[in-house]
Amino acid sequence: MPWALERAGLAVLRRLDPETAHGLAMKALRLGLAPAPGPLNSDRLRTRLAGLDLPNPVGLAAGFDKNAIALGPLAQAGFGFIEAGAATPRPQPGNPRPRLFRLTRERAVINRFGFNNDGMEAIATRLAVRPAGAVIGLNLGANKDSADRAGDFARVLAHCGAHLDFATVNVSSPNTERLRDLQGKAALGALLRDVIDTRDGLARRVPVFLKIAPDLGDAELADIAAVARDVGIDALIATNTTLSREGLRSRHRAEAGGLSGAPLFERSTRVLARLHQLTGGGIPLIGVGGIGSAQDAYAKIRAGASAVQLYTALVYGGLGLVSEIARGLDGLLQRDGFANVAEACGTSRKDWL
C-alpha cells in the first residue's frame, strides 16, 4: 500500500475505538494492504543478537500480533525481527473492554488487556507455517487463573518451541494480578531454571529472553542481573509498560493499566543503561519504550541496547515508520563513524546513569 494511503487509513482508524481500530489494522495487514518493503539491511545495520542474525536491529514488540495471525505481512514491513504473543497455555479473553486508551497529546497508550489470546495450541499451529527467513519469537505468558503460573511459561515453550527463533519470559506485565511478584530473586530464579531446562530439552536450541518492568529499584535490577547471569539468560528486554503517570495531562491518565509510548522513553532508557552497567555488557539488551524515531532508537543503542523494539509509535506513525527508523539509524551510525550497531552499543551509557 502506498505511504499516502497508509496515512489516510491511519487518520480513519484514529477516529475509532482503539481496540476496534487495531483489529481492522490486523485485517488490512492480512489482506496485503500495508507497506511491504522487506527488511532493510546494510553492513552497518546487520546485527548479531544472542546467536541470531538480524538484517537490522529494529524489531516488533510483543502485543501487536498477539495471536501470530499476520506474521507474513509483518515480516515484509521492514522489521529485523518479530515477537508474537503473549501466549498462555489456555485461551483467555483478558480483561473487560474498554481496555485500550490512546493518549494522543502524549503519543502514548494505556492498556490493560490481561494476556487476551487464543492459547498456545492455536498459536503453535500458526507458527508452524511462519514465513521462511524471518526471525520470529514468542512472548510467553501465564493464565490468570492458573494454579501454577510459574510453570505456565515452560508449558508454552515446550508446546511452541519447535517453531521459534527465540522466546521471551514475560513476568513484567502489570495487567495480570501479582504477576510482577515473579520478578523477585528467588521466584524468578526458579521460574527461569524451569524454562531453561525445558529449552534444553528441545530439538533445537532457542535463545531465552527476559522482559522486565521499568518500575524496579536499583536493588531489584541488581537481583535480576544476577539471576540472569546465574541461569544463563540470553538477553534482557528493557522494558515493559509502566504504572507511572508522571507528567500526563490526558483525560485517560487515570485509567488502570500499563503506559507505553513517548512518556516511557526516559524511564525505560535509564533502566536499560543501568542494566548495561550491572551486566558489564555481558548480556545483550533489547531496548523498548517510547521509540518513535531513528534518534530514539540510536539513543537506546548508545545507552546499551544491541537491538530495539517498537509498538506504540506504530499507532501514530504506521508501519512506514519501521523503514524510516532503520534508514535513519543507518545514517546516524555512518555519521558518527560506527561500522555497526555493536560498535555504538553502550557508548553513551554514562549519560543515563
- Model pLDDT for residues 283-305, shown as the tens digit of each residue: 999 999 999 999 999 999 999 99
Higher pLDDT among residues 256 and 31, named by residue: 256
Task: Tell me the Cα Rg of the chain.
Answer: 18
Residue with grid cell 544463563, as numbered in its chain = 232
Q: How confident is the model at residue 4 (pLDDT cuts 50, 70, 90)?
A: low
The predicted pLDDT at position 1 comes to 43
Rounded Cα distance, 58 and 289, in Å: 13
Q: Mean pLDDT over all residues of the chain?
A: 94
Reduce the DSSP state of residue 158 to 3 states and report it. Answer: helix
Residue 179 pLDDT more than 90?
no
Q: Which three cell numbers stand for residue 89?
A: 497455555
Do 211 and 166 touch, CB atoms closer than 8 A? no
Q: How confident is the model at residue 12 (pLDDT cuts 50, 70, 90)?
A: confident
Residue with grid cell 546487520, as numbered in its chain = 46
Catalytic residue, chosen from 146, 172, 173, 250, is 173
* pTM over the 0.85 mark: yes
Q: How confident is the model at residue 5 (pLDDT cuts 50, 70, 90)?
A: low
CATH 3.20.20.70 fits 39-352, yes or no: yes
**Which of 261, 219, 218, 255 shows the shortest CA–CA distance to 240?**
261
Mind listing the pLDDT tens digit for each residue in 71-104?
Answer: 999 999 999 999 999 999 999 999 999 999 999 9
The predicted pLDDT at position 36 comes to 81
Rounded to an integer, the average pLDDT of 315-326 is 94
The predicted pLDDT at position 6 comes to 76
Count the Cβ atoms, other than its own, within 10 Å of residue 232.
13
Residue with grid cell 509498560, as numbered in its chain = 241
Is 146 known to be catalytic? no
Rounded to an integer, the average pLDDT of 243-268 is 97
Q: Which three cell numbers stand for residue 246?
A: 508522571
Q: Which three cell numbers stand for residue 241?
A: 509498560
The predicted pLDDT at position 17 comes to 94
The predicted pLDDT at position 39 comes to 81
Q: Which three cell numbers stand for residue 77?
A: 514491513
Residue 175 pLDDT more than 80?
no
Rounded to an integer, the average pLDDT of 134-158 is 96
Query: What is each CA distance from 158 to 88, 124, 148, 164, in whole angstroms?
Result: 12, 10, 15, 11
Rounded Cα distance, 36 and 3, in Å: 10
Do 19 and 100 touch, CB atoms closer than 8 A? yes
Rounded to an integer, the average pLDDT of 226-253 is 96
Q: What string of DSSP letters covers 30-97?
A: HTT-S--------TTT-EEETTEEESSSEEEPTTTTTTSSSHHHHHTTT-SEEEEEEE-SS-B--SPS
